[in-house]
Amino acid sequence: MRKVILIAILTSIFQLNLIAAEVGTKHEYGLSFLGSYEYEEPKIMNLRSGSQATDNELDNLGFLYNYKNAFINDFNFLNELEFDASYQFLTQTYWSNASGTMEDIDTEIYNLRALYGIQLSDKLMLKSGLGYRHLYHFWQNKRSTTGGWGYDREQDYTYIPIIAELKMPISELKLDGKLKLEFDQIIEGNNNSYAAYLGGSNKDSKFKNSDGYAWKASYEGKRGAFIYEPYYEFMHVDDSTVANGLHEPVNTTKEIGLRVKKEFNSKRSKSSEFNEILNNDDFYFGVQLLLSEVETGTYAATGTAEINEKDYGYSIVSGMKVLDKTNGKLDVELAYNQFGKSNTTCNSADSFKTDGRFRNGAYAGGTTLTCLSPLNIEIESYSTSLGLKPSFDVSNGINLNANFGFNRWNQIESEGASGASPTQNTYDGIDTYYGFGLGFNGDNLTFGLEYLEHDMYYDAKIMSASLKYNF
């Protein structure tokens, strides 16, 4: 009886259609090839791998394993259990204004994930679960070009992944593939620095880095017996706790590479069918080019001082239609936004005023600050937004839309002379965003123009041009 009631409720909310399914187990083994890997503490240091750090491709080789078990549950929905594991070896180069360079740093990264997914339509599967990432830098007994000694570092992150898998064959390339979009929310992070071996006042330190996230995108295409998956990953982690008077500053990681896999001992069949929850045209994804104007918190520059608040950025967008009427519709839209950088520069004897936000409110609004030496103040802004997007048809293929929701944002304010390690303030929070725009609809592609305002510590005004693929 409960099963009947549940199916009736789901049927009243969604449109259920019977679709052919592939069920059973699948094992995949493979290799990963790293093209580019960069860890950065903005304006402080970076670590680079891939072709940027070595000429030997074997120095950046990884190993992969993936297990999947697809099955039809009692409610006639297709489900999938997945477990994947990876090991990546890196050779990195270290660079810092303060402590010089250091080459041939060995690094190991382990990734483990357990996932559960449900097939929402014949083209869309949604997955979530639990992930664990472990990284170890082997720096002990290595010395930089300025004479500084390195020490081993260890990072552990536990995170919750949310993954959308979109079937997207490319007939021109004879690829039967799917696009994978992923957001990871870090729930527990630890960073250990092992400097005690240096003696003196040096100590081992343990930090907590539990506030961060990651965005990942890849395309998995099968051709012949092999699966090819180019991928891009971005991770942002906020400031750590303080230990022994030290802390790990806000940092980002960017990774580009290629995974090559092959199936072994798979036992799959296409004899079963499942209920489709969503129509295939209910969801879309796309990219946006942003022209951003992020406030600097400074004004009234004198002399050679300059205030530049405009820059280009980008958004990665996915959405789902939840209401469709004759003259309009309502979408739920999720986006990752990179707003670019804004900055204030000045030379000796130049001045500018602050509106009270600069340096985390260290000065009252209207205070005049004079530069004693050349100075650059830079603000980087990121966010993840979730909101509603109602649209109304005004002509054949043309619609007007509104866009509003919540914005989970991060901003990094860096202040320092050129070539020196900067002083940083970081800000984060959850606020609103809102705007309006114009859309031009094709068969599968939608081109859009929008104006948006994002409330943050330093507010942003955005003009965007978007291109979206509609399923």
DSSP string of 8-52? HHHHHHS--EEEEEEEEEEEEEEEEEEEEEEEEETTTEEEEEETT
The stretch 301-315 carries a mean pLDDT of 93
Q: Residue 465 carries which side chain, given as an amino acid letter?
A: A
Does the pTM surpass 0.75? The reply is no
- The residues facing 343 across adjacent strands are 308, 378
| pLDDT beyond 70 at 61 | yes
Predicted local distance difference test score (pLDDT) of residue 97: 78
pLDDT digits (tens, 9 = 90+) for 412-435: 998 887 656 678 888 989 999 999
Pick the range with the lowest mean pLDDT from 107-121, 216-230, 272-286, 352-366: 272-286
Q: Which pair of structure tokens corresponds to residue 174?
A: 């004879």
Distance (Å) of CA 63 to CA 59, 359, 441: 13, 45, 43
Higher pLDDT, 52 or 47: 47
Q: Do domains 17-276 and 280-470 have the same CATH topology?
A: no
Q: Which pair of structure tokens corresponds to residue 461?
A: 């005004």
Predicted local distance difference test score (pLDDT) of residue 77: 86
CA angle 328, 6, 321 (to 5 degrees): 20
Q: Which pair of structure tokens corresponds to residue 102?
A: 């250091």
From CA 288, how far away is CA 305, in angstroms rounded? Answer: 32
Distance (Å) of CA 418 to CA 44, 358, 374, 376, 426: 12, 19, 7, 7, 20
The stretch 114-126 carries a mean pLDDT of 88
Higher pLDDT, 285 or 262: 262
Q: What is the dihedral of CA 329, 332, 334, 340, to 10 degrees?
A: 50
Output phi, psi for 72, to 5 deg: -100, 125
The stretch 380-391 carries a mean pLDDT of 92
Map residue 208 onto helix, strand or coil.
Answer: strand
CA angle 75, 81, 85 (to 5 degrees): 170
- The residues facing 219 across adjacent strands are 179
The stretch 377-388 carries a mean pLDDT of 92
| pLDDT beyond 90 at 20 | no
Distance (Å) of CA 395 to CA 197, 284, 328, 439: 72, 21, 11, 11
From CA 424, how far away is CA 256, in angstroms rounded? Answer: 27
Predicted local distance difference test score (pLDDT) of residue 280: 57
Strand bridging mode 246-247 / 242-243: antiparallel
| pLDDT beyond 90 at 56 | no
Cα atoms found within 13 Å of the Cα of residue 102, Cβ hemisphere only: 23
| pLDDT beyond 70 at 281 | no
The stretch 312-337 carries a mean pLDDT of 86
pLDDT band at residue 471 under the 50/70/90 scheme = low
pLDDT digits (tens, 9 = 90+) for 91-113: 889 988 778 899 888 999 999 99
From CA 231, how far away is CA 239, in angstroms rounded? Answer: 27
The stretch 179-191 carries a mean pLDDT of 91
The ranges assigned to domains in the chain are 17-276, 280-470
Predicted local distance difference test score (pLDDT) of residue 277: 73
CATH of domain 17-276: 2.40.128.100
pLDDT band at residue 323 under the 50/70/90 scheme = confident
Predicted local distance difference test score (pLDDT) of residue 135: 94
pLDDT band at residue 230 under the 50/70/90 scheme = very high
Predicted local distance difference test score (pLDDT) of residue 357: 92
Q: Are 277 and 16 in contact (CB under 8 A)?
A: yes
pLDDT band at residue 309 under the 50/70/90 scheme = very high
Query: 336 exposed, middle or buried (CB, 10 Å; 0-12, 13-18, 19+)?
Result: buried
Does domain 280-470 sit in CATH 3.30.70.1140?
A: no
b/e 162-199 (16+ beta carbons within 10 angstroms → b): ebbbbebeeeeeebebbbbbbbbebeebbbbbbbeeee
Predicted local distance difference test score (pLDDT) of residue 19: 61
The stretch 338-350 carries a mean pLDDT of 92
The stretch 271-295 carries a mean pLDDT of 81
Strand bridging mode 351-354 / 246-247: unpaired
CA angle 239, 236, 64 (to 5 degrees): 125
From CA 129, how far away is CA 441, in angstroms rounded? Answer: 35
The stretch 173-177 carries a mean pLDDT of 70
| pLDDT beyond 60 at 129 | yes
Question: What's the whole-number average pLDDT of the chain?
Answer: 86
Length, in residues, of the chain:
471
Largest CA distance in the chain: 80
| pLDDT beyond 50 at 9 | no
Predicted local distance difference test score (pLDDT) of residue 10: 43
